[in-house]
Amino acid sequence: MLPEFNLLFWQKFWPSFFSSLLVTFIFTVIITWLLYHFRKPKLEVELSIGHSGGGKKFFIFKLQNHGKIGLMTNEAQWFVYFECMSGTNRVFKTEEILDQIILDHQSFYQVSGFNEVPCLPGSSIDLTTIAVWPCKDIPYKTFDEAKFYVSITTNRGSWRPSFSLKNKRIKYNDGHVVRYIYKISKVVV
């Protein structure tokens, strides 16, 4: 009877062991994915437009963190894009020399950098401030109509804004990197 017991034991042990191992692996993958998904910082980019004498405007791009996880210093690389030309009309002139790129068949200024200070949960930081002069033949009645885009990459992946029908998305390919760029929907004048 002893040899039969050993044979039956091993015939039942291995299938049970492998099925338990498979179920454990599946649960681990699901729980890890859920923790990763819900522990991302919930970021929002806001553009505040300041005014100065002589028609000079200041574009202040801010990053707000509404999530439960913060961003440490230099953890996020950001790219900000705003219109340079709309058709044949110049939209904005800048004091400093900025890179220009073509997005969606239009000319845009590009400014990039890293977050220089931590962005903790419930806080906001300034990404950059750019001094501009609106041109006389600007094709917009208000600054809300102008096109401002942003792209943020962290060590947790590329940022996507929370679902909104206002956020237009453009796929940008510079030959080296492909990234999605999202329209800034929160513009404070």
Give the tens place of pLDDT for each residue, 61-95: 999 988 888 888 998 899 998 887 665 566 777 77
* Structural Rg of the chain based on CA atoms: 25
CA–CA distances in Å: residue 42 to residues 16, 74, 160: 42, 17, 9
End-to-end CA distance of the chain: 88
What pTM was computed for the model? Answer: 0.74
Q: Give residue 1's pLDDT band: very low, low, confident or very high (50, 70, 90).
A: very low
E strands, 31-145, where? Answer: 43-51, 57-65, 76-83, 85-86, 89-90, 92-94, 99-103, 106-114, 124-134
CATH class of 43-188: mainly beta
Q: pLDDT confidence of 30, banded at 50, 70, 90?
A: very high
Q: How far apart are CA 125 and CA 156, in angstroms?
A: 19
Q: Where are the domains of the chain?
A: 1-38, 43-188
Q: Which residue has the higher pLDDT, 30 or 100?
A: 30
Phi, psi dihedrals of residue 186, rounded to the nearest 5°:
-105, 100
